[in-house]
Amino acid sequence: MPELPEVETTRRGIAPFVTGHVVERVVLRRKDLRWPIPRAISTQLPGQRVNAVARRAKYLLLHTTAGSALLHLGMSGSLRVVDPALAPGQHDHYDFVLDSGRALRFNDPRRFGCLLWQAPGEVHPLLQNLGPEPLNDDFDGDWLWHTSHGRSASVKSFLMDQSIVVGVGNIYASEVLFAAGVHPKRAAGAVSRTRYARIATEIRRILDRAISRGGTTLRDFIAPDGAPGYFEQELMVYDRSSQPCRICGTSIRSVVIGQRMAYWCPRCQH
DNA sequence: CGACACACCTGGATGC
DNA sequence: TGCATCCAGGTGTGTC
């Protein structure tokens, strides 16, 4: 489900209810999600005050002085702030019960998400091989251009590789390449420096815009307050197979690239 | 290293 | 209505 805009929407939604509060209790209704939930979540986290709710790539971090809880939403995960007395649903896998009398509750039908622990001063292995944050200043077209040198894989797969740049998933990869006028199947190493500058600009613009719209809701994404994301209304190509291009009217096409569906306009993209 | 297929899991949509 | 099939926003792992 969530790409960077949905994770950032989630972060902003929970932060006011979590930051500065003590996690009084952790309720685990399963012992594992994608991976086993480490003991530290039960032994270290309770009693700790959350100093900040941060995001790195598509991971959320709840920082405390004892360490940080590392959360990933996977494909179908979502977080909500609830009354802990509210009966949990079938896929509500854990709660962090706060001293405010509220609870942060995680729901994830497919269980591709994870809940892990990062000790103070350490960087979790899952965070060690990540590329730059696309909304930070150290990311630009020249980084993409240099990194793409000699790569034969498609530019769409390249942009979705989290070691190249983080946060761009299947929806926004198609949207970015449409906006930049680049065919998704083009070899990453065959895209010009000028065109990468445009791609970098569009990544920033589209992710920013999607965040301001509360993300994209296609099937089941909800913000912590229960609101859907409104960027779906602004999608130019994603999930619009055989519908007219919003720019030129040509029928939008789809093709599988790297096991994922890609969408593009045959007239606007080359 | 890079490229790629596969795995994990459930639920909704579709087709017969 | 029931059942089979396919598809879905992510990403680590194994193989070549």
A270, part of any domain: no
Q: Residue for token digits 């685990």?
A: A28
Q: Is the CB of A3 under 7 A from strand C?
A: yes
HSE of A104, CA atoms in CB hemisphere, 13 A: 28
Q: Angle A193-212/A4-18 helices, nearest 10 degrees?
A: 40
HSE of A243, CA atoms in CB hemisphere, 13 A: 10
Q: Domain check: are A176 and A198 in the same one? A: yes
CATH of the domain at A118: 3.20.190.10
Contact A103, A39 (CB under 8 A): no
Angle at A2 (CA atoms; ends A84, A158), nearest 5 degrees:
155
Considering chain A, what is the average pLDDT of its residues? 96
**Residue A1: per-residue pLDDT:** 64
Q: Which residues of A are catalytic, by number?
A: 2-3, 58, 260
Contact A151, A189 (CB under 8 A): yes
Name the residue with the least CA to C1' distance from nucleotide B5: A259
What is the C-alpha separation between A2 and A4, in angstroms, rounded? Answer: 7
What is the C-alpha separation between A43 and A51, in angstroms, rounded? Answer: 18
Q: Domain check: are A237 and A167 in the same one? A: yes
A52-56 vs A59-64, strand pairing mode? antiparallel
Mean pLDDT of A23-52: 98
What is the C-alpha separation between A26 and A43, in angstroms, rounded? Answer: 9
User: How many percent of chain A have pLDDT more than 70?
Assistant: 99
For strand C, the positions having any atom within 7 A of a protein Cβ are 7-12
pLDDT category of residue A224 using cuts at 50, 70 and 90: confident
Q: What tokens appear for A67 in the block?
A: 């360490």
Q: Domain check: are A153 and A47 in the same one? A: no
Mean pLDDT of A57-73: 98
Phi-psi region of A257 (alpha: psi -120 to 50; beta: other; left: phi over 0): beta
Q: Domain check: are A153 and A105 in the same one? A: no
Mean pLDDT of A82-100: 97
Distance A109 CA to B11 C1' (A): 8
CB atoms within 10 A of CB A85: 7
A134, part of any domain: no
What is the C-alpha separation between A170 and A262, in angstroms, rounded? Answer: 8
Q: Domain check: are A25 and A77 in the same one? A: yes
Nearest to A113 by CA among A262, A221, A256: A221
**Residue A226: per-residue pLDDT:** 82
Domains of chain A: total = 2
Mean pLDDT of A228-234: 88
CATH of the domain at A164: 1.10.8.50
For strand B, the positions having any atom within 7 A of a protein Cβ are 2-12
A230 or A93, which is more confident?
Answer: A93
Using CA atoms, how far residue A211 sits from A9, A117, A207, in Å, is 6, 27, 6
Give me the domain span that covers residue A41. 4-127
Please identify, among A92, A127, A162, the residue that sits at the C-terminal boundary of a domain.
A127
Global pTM value: 0.97
**Residue A221: per-residue pLDDT:** 74
Helices vs. strands in chain A: H and E counts, helices first: 6, 10
Q: Is the CB of A110 under 7 A from strand C?
A: yes
